Amino acid sequence: MTHISPHPGSPSPARVPVVVIGAGPAGLTVGNILRAASVDCVVLETESREFIEQRPRAGVIEEWAVRALEQRGLADNLLERAGRHTACEFRFDGSGHRFPYTQLTGRHHFVYPQPLLVTDLVHEYADRRGGDIRFGVRDVRLHDTDTDHPSVSYLCPASGERRLIHCDFVAGCDGARGVSRSTLTARERARVARHDYGIGWLALLAEAPPSSDCVLFGVHPRGFAGHMPRSPEVTRYYLQCPPGDDPENWPHEHVWPELRQRLAASGNPPLTEGRLLEKRVLDMHDYVVEPMASGRLLLAGDAAHLTAPIAAKGMNLALHDAFLLGDALAMYLAKGDDSGLAGYSEACLRRVWDYQEFSQWLSDVYHGTASGDPYRAGTTLARLRRLFTSPAAAAAFAEQYLGTAAHY
Ligand code: FAD
């Protein structure tokens, strides 16, 4: 039988109100909100601090999310260093069509690479708010989360011993490959809705300055291409490819001509090329777990729902969940008010489903002309033209792109 030890020889508590699994944007935001409310918690993370502070992923944060981080004292560096984007550009039929969303709405997108946000959130939680975070843990297991005395155990990286922490709640923030989702979905009541786009994206990070001041969407018969500025030195690019494609099929000398062709627009300078720092194929799919909570286990972020990076929504949804979950747990544990916990799943899912629907819509736009179906190509171009001729269509797109609907 496995030997389980609370925390032998360690001053760390064997009981805390909340165990947070996963130190991504969701888990670290929940941890910070709890620390600010003087609620004790432990964050468990399988990777090292260095690894999570360098893992490249998202870069676009919606303005409402930045303001919510700011209200919680979590956006000082972001506000100082992030780029502010005011427009995006669709490139099709050999021309560029700029969509000035800030002019229409007064709102921005903030561009701040996910590793920088994670670095800020870890620093605030562990170094400034004195939060307990354990890196490099192995084989995390959830116990009795359908009772009111749950616990979490893990293998300590230093001793190899299994450690046990009793708690009141488990926040499952361990992303798409964690253990929390399968624990919750093993229960009868939970349902997982899935969608597979049947396409792949080659995700590239290039050591090259952006070739435009804004995000570019290349809608081309050869397939979609994207250009996303990340910093003055680094640009993310995407190329539509077959699902399951091997990144090795895309050497430097294939990537750049393909990007040039799919992002071509008359009157624009050629793309600035650079060394490819990251090259991997993402099979585009989505899922949503409903409800996002069961018993004392509450999911947040990619653990509960995945949104293919089509509309740059995943990290924004992870932050939205984390604000609601952190506030709801703090309200219950500090004041005994359970209204936030009771409405948590429903409140998250309204925005989740709205963003899922927008990703579907945008996927049709991105991939329609390359589908080989002249009917889909025709309707795709009609949608694109409507964005630039109908103020009502432009306003609806801007609202969804920026996540600014008044009610979700
Ligand atoms: P994660 O960031 O995945 O964090 C989960 C953490 O849990 C990780 O640190 C992981 O190591 C840890 N973990 C896993 N298993 C365990 C376990 N068993 N025990 C303990 N810890 C565990 N989103 C946007 O909003 N905008 C974008 O522009 C954007 N671009 C993207 C580009 C790419 C190429 C990719 C892949 C994603 C992109 N996303 C984007 C999505 C975004 O990165 C994710 O939605 C976001 O990271 C979700 O945050 P999270 O905290 O829920 O999960």
- What are the structure tokens assigned to 103, written together? 């002019």
Question: CATH classification of 15-57+113-193+286-356, choosing from 1.10.579.10, 3.50.50.60, 3.40.50.300, 3.40.50.720?
Answer: 3.50.50.60
| Single-letter amino acid, residue 362 | L
Q: Three-state secondary structure along 285-314?
A: EEEEEECCEECCEEECHHHCEECCHHHCCH
The per-residue pLDDT for range 204-228, each reduced to its tens digit, is 999 999 999 999 999 999 999 999 9
How far, in Å, CA of 24 to CA of 65, rounded? 15
* CA of 1 relative to ligand 1 center, distance in Å: 34
How far, in Å, CA of 293 to CA of 180, rounded? 10
Closest C-alpha to 317, from 38, 34, 62: 62
pTM: 0.95
Kind of pairing between the strands at 162-172 and 15-21:
parallel
Work out the pLDDT band at 404, boundaries 50, 70, 90: very high
pLDDT at residue 1 greater than cutoff 60? no
* CA of 55 relative to ligand 1 center, distance in Å: 9
The dihedrals phi and psi of 196, each to the nearest 5 degrees, come to: -115, 125
* Mean pLDDT (the chain, rounded): 95
pLDDT at residue 241 greater than cutoff 80? yes
Residue labelled with tokens 């620390």: 35
Give the ligand 1 atom nearest the CA of 180.
18
* CA of 283 relative to ligand 1 center, distance in Å: 15
CA 265 to chain centre: 30
The per-residue pLDDT for range 4-43, each reduced to its tens digit, is 444 444 545 589 999 999 999 999 999 999 999 999 999 9
- What are the structure tokens assigned to 143, written together? 């116990």
> Residue 189 has what pLDDT?
81
Q: Three-state secondary structure along 131-198?
A: CEEECCCEEEEEECCCCCCCEEEEECCCCCCEEEEEEEEEEECCCCCCCHHHHHHCCCCCEEEEEEEE
Q: Which of 117, 174, 228, 239 to mutate to test the pocket of ligand 1 (most atoms within 8 A of CB)?
A: 174
